[in-house]
Structure 1
């Protein structure tokens, strides 16, 4: 059980109050450690946030640079239109040059389908046959045997057909009337080779199976009616490769003209995203390099969360700003301002889309070269700043975290020293109190003895 010391009961000397006042003065020295720890922690947080923004900037810059591995290239952005969207729709990507072509859609790809005869069963869960049986389903020119067990119901038959991957067909049970059903088989894919044939024990499903529709390819004709007429086909509704970078989706027979154009708006949007990401990083530095005028009026505890002025004069912040703005100032090899990208007098990066579009219209290759070079430099700058091993911001974050840890250790040692000192002072002043108490007791006894002697002398007279 711990002990409780109460001093000054006899002497009126409050040892606890004296020790508390002395320790309050001693602990003032610890405020420096606490403030330094708070400042280092806040600076680490600012650098971490800035690191994330610079990484996002690098990602936006990388998206502008053509990547041969992933085959992504914003400079191949293209637009395509069909004059008759009821006949066909189109999409385009990576066109070599604007073009147009009139095509006639002759047929649209469809899946082959067949229908069985009437199957006399009470309901879908009635067994079809009392003995094992099988069907031979031909799709894509290849026959597939599907076996059924005695007692398989109509629903079970449909399920087994649907689950047979080689058959590549969907089976649907159709009710004709009470006590009579049919089985429809439809190819899961389209194309002329999906015209279905069904053989085997067809008597189990109502006798001969008849064709509902034959499978068909999409057939598109170019130069219809001319000596140069030719046709192309596809097993699906989509025809690729007829025009470079263009995909045609046939909807119904008819004629349409397909027009393709480059899409500078899509390219400009990516460039704008890169500029916005760079500005977000620069803005973060500017915000944390200004002093909040209300900081002096902050309520208790606000200093710990207010990052006002933390980056004033900070060399890492200055390095980040210079690394980014230098890219957009450009060099003799690439001048971003020529394609609408520049840095204004306040340090904000601007993007003039109209100027970009005008330059791109005059010389697409030159614009692509300039913007790509700028984006690559910005991506490289981002990597140098945020690299997990030796990035400038990474080093700054690690440095502040190390400082926080050091101050945390200092604070613990300081608290240990203060606890030991308080214990020493408490012991010393309790000893002083006991000594004063003893002296008071002796003084009271001596005063009593003198009083008794005086009384005795007075009585003898």
Structure 2
């Protein structure tokens, strides 16, 4: 009788190998199960390869969707109408927005916007006891607050919590004759412009209305350091058409359509803001279209190529095919995109505006050719670019639409395949578990039978020995 051994295997419980037969039943069962599990292993390998295929489909679909977005913008009849604004003076900066148009305007800067700043007289405390104070805005609105005490700190806190459009700060102001420290309250409007003007009174709102409240900034030693004011520019200064435009901030948004003008200091000489087509941004529209197209073709080429690898130890050469090789959906989409990108527009080749196809199937962009075309025939250049972009957009949208796109549909189909494969794998897991249990029962029964036969053999042997004696 062999020595018993204890072992366990995947999917089985702890079992004792053949006590009677001497067989390593666990090893035998595992060997049999490895053969039984071949179909499930093939299914698992299929899931891995299909998921890799889905991942590549999703990547190229995302690249085509990006191309569709860019071509949708480039296909607009005004896609090259991008503008830049320049100023003739460092005192003025200008920026062009999406709705900007070519033009210019000349003006002088009369004032910059400012927030009101008021400073109180020097004092060691606001008042002997808690007493109300009232802030009056430029619109006459009164806000009355009562500090927790007559201290300057409590007064600052009360003003800052009032929500009256002003903030207060305690500022050191030297020392009094008796040696006590003096401070001033600096009160500033939170917004620039004349609408931010305010007054500060000692007293309630009723006192202000009655005219008995004390104007803090009119006290001895107090002052309004900076008056609230709007920024202002005067167009066509010195002519009968002179017109002044004001802004609560230093930025004007309505001097020219789509143009933001910011002033930083007053001027005596006229300032001219000019808006013209930005050829650099226009070029970026065309080159961006080429870049997005090349991103698709390069990814497709990389994932349809065949690579060979030679082992340095064995010298064996193995080849690996790209995951998209042989896929008709992506091949058809890329071919259609390439054809649309290279097709003439109104009898004119895309190369006339610097877009050319290479012998590798990618596209190149000639910036000099584009700029020359834009300078000599801006309308024709726009028409060709819009035509190319429109044709490519149609193909890209057909391939990558999130509901009906051909690549999107292929992804959905492959995901259904994976779902079905996983269901089969789960079914095989149950089937294999049952098969293992059956084999374990069979070998257990074998051990029982062998044990019984062994007992019978021993009895017969003893009986024969008795007869012989």
TM-score scaled by structure 2?
Answer: 0.77
Asked if structure 2 preserves the Cα contact closer than 8 Å seen for 1:113 and 1:213, the reply is yes
Q: Deviations over 1:299-345 (max 9, x none)?
A: xxxx9xx9942211111211331342233123545854432223322
2:400 is matched with 386
| 1:117 pairs with 2:121 | yes
1:339 is matched with 353
2:384 is matched with 370
Unpaired segments ≥5 residues, structure 1: 68-72, 122-126, 457-461
How far is 1:263 from its partner? 0.6
| 1:58 pairs with 2:68 | yes
How far is 1:446 from its partner? 6.0
How far is 1:277 from its partner? 2.5
How far is 1:206 from its partner? 7.9
| 1:275 pairs with 2:290 | yes
How far is 1:252 from its partner? 1.7
| 1:146 pairs with 2:161 | no
How far is 1:437 from its partner? 6.1
| 1:4 pairs with 2:2 | no
Correspondent of 1:106 among 106, 110, 115 = 110
Correspondent of 1:262 among 264, 273, 277 = 277
In 2, the alpha carbon distance for the partners of 1:3 and 1:174 equals 83
Asked if structure 2 preserves the Cα contact closer than 8 Å seen for 1:113 and 1:196, the reply is no
Correspondent of 1:285 among 300, 306, 315 = 300
**Counterpart mapping for 1:65-76 below 5 A:** 75-76=80-81
How far is 1:218 from its partner? 2.7
In 1, the alpha carbon distance for the partners of 2:14 and 2:88 equals 96
Asked if structure 2 preserves the Cα contact closer than 8 Å seen for 1:83 and 1:258, the reply is yes
In 2, the alpha carbon distance for the partners of 1:410 and 1:134 equals 81
Instruction: Say if 1:117 and 1:321 are closer, same or farther in 2 by CA, change over 3 A.
Output: same
SS of structure 2 residue aligned to 1:173? strand
Residue range with higher mean Cα deviation, 223-232 or 37-46: 223-232
Correspondent of 2:214 among 191, 194, 202 = 202
Residue range with higher mean Cα deviation, 247-256 or 441-450: 441-450
1:132 is matched with 131
Instruction: Say if 1:142 and 1:383 are closer, same or farther in 2 by CA, change over 3 A.
Output: farther
2:5 is matched with none
SS of structure 2 residue aligned to 1:361? helix
In 1, the alpha carbon distance for the partners of 2:66 and 2:310 equals 30
Q: Deviations over 1:98-122 (max 9, x none)?
A: x55543323222233333333342x
Unpaired segments ≥5 residues, structure 2: 1-11, 176-180, 202-207
Residue range with higher mean Cα deviation, 392-401 or 74-83: 74-83
In 1, the alpha carbon distance for the partners of 2:30 and 2:190 equals 86
Asked if structure 1 preserves the Cα contact closer than 8 Å seen for 2:147 and 2:157, the reply is no
Correspondent of 2:371 among 338, 357, 365 = 357
1:35 is matched with 45
| 1:79 pairs with 2:84 | yes
Correspondent of 1:24 among 7, 28, 34 = 34
Correspondent of 2:173 among 171, 176, 179 = 176
2:327 is matched with 314
2:57 is matched with 47
2:4 is matched with none
How far is 1:19 from its partner? 4.1
2:205 is matched with none
How far is 1:379 from its partner? 4.2
In 1, the alpha carbon distance for the partners of 2:111 and 2:427 equals 86
How far is 1:408 from its partner? 1.9
2:191 is matched with 189
Asked if structure 2 preserves the Cα contact closer than 8 Å seen for 1:15 and 1:433, the reply is no
Instruction: Say if 1:266 and 1:441 are closer, same or farther in 2 by CA, change over 3 A.
Output: same
SS of structure 2 residue aligned to 1:96? coil
SS of structure 2 residue aligned to 1:389? coil
In 1, the alpha carbon distance for the partners of 2:453 and 2:131 equals 117
| 1:415 pairs with 2:429 | yes
Instruction: Say if 1:307 and 1:223 are closer, same or farther in 2 by CA, change over 3 A.
Output: farther
Cα RMSD for the two superposed structures: 3.8
| 1:398 pairs with 2:400 | no
In 2, the alpha carbon distance for the partners of 1:40 and 1:262 equals 50
Instruction: Say if 1:307 and 1:393 are closer, same or farther in 2 by CA, change over 3 A.
Output: farther
How far is 1:236 from its partner? 2.5
How far is 1:74 from its partner? 5.2
In 1, the alpha carbon distance for the partners of 2:433 and 2:148 equals 89
- Count of aligned pairs between the two proteins: 434
Instruction: Say if 1:144 and 1:441 are closer, same or farther in 2 by CA, change over 3 A.
Output: closer
In 2, the alpha carbon distance for the partners of 1:253 and 1:180 equals 37
In 1, the alpha carbon distance for the partners of 2:27 and 2:48 equals 30
